[in-house]
Amino acid sequence: GRPLSRICFSGPLSDLNQPENMLPAIFVLSVVAFNIAMEVCNAFPVVAAGHSLGEYSALVCSGLLSFSDALTLIKKRVEYAKAIMLSENAIMMVVDGIPPVIVESICKQYTEGQVTVGCYNTGEQCTLCGRVEDLMKVKSVLQNYPVTITPLFNSPPFHSKLMYPAASLFE
């Protein structure tokens, strides 16, 4: 019920960056990419796994969940997560160029644990989750390091304790 191909290929980017468009688009692209790879490689994996939103595409690609059921679940996930994002004024922020252990220490020291690592992407990149006010405290300290900081203003604080109420509703 959403023109994802138009949003993805024609924009505007501000529409694609809305969680209700972004997450279904990532899911659909993941499933399409899997199907193309299977056609090209003429092979099927023995195991499928995914992190966060990727779990849905892994379940669909392994045949354990229907495409339409996954989209229904993703729609609910976005609805609950966006409500938390708006009510808590909370987002995610990517920190690149510094070991996450240093970032964790700064978060504990300057926000008393209110900002947490949501995902460890690499040995020098992680995402942080928290309220904007607390994330900006961490950002001001991290700017003293040679890092790249990217606030994701339209991304709910996935993988954080702020999402517990949404997780309960989703369950």
In this predicted model, what pLDDT tens digit does every residue of 23-69 receive, in sequence order?
A: 999 999 999 999 999 999 988 889 999 989 999 999 999 999 999 99
For the cut 90, the answer to whether the pLDDT of residue 109 exceeds it is yes
pLDDT for res 44: 84
Contacts of 148 (CB under 8 A, 6+ apart): 94, 95, 96, 97
Structure tokens at 171: 């369950």
**Distance, CA of 130 to CA of 119 (rounded, Å):** 13
Taking all residues of the chain, what is their mean pLDDT, rounded to a whole number?
93
pLDDT for res 1: 75
pLDDT per residue as tens digits for the range 76-89:
999 999 999 999 99
Q: What mean pLDDT comes out for the span 103-115?
A: 93
Q: How confident is the model at residue 2 (pLDDT cuts 50, 70, 90)?
A: confident
What pTM was computed for the model?
0.86
19-41 vs 67-88: helix crossing angle, rounded to 10: 150
Peptide bond into 12 cis (omega under 30): yes
| CB atoms near residue 135 (< 10 Å) | 26
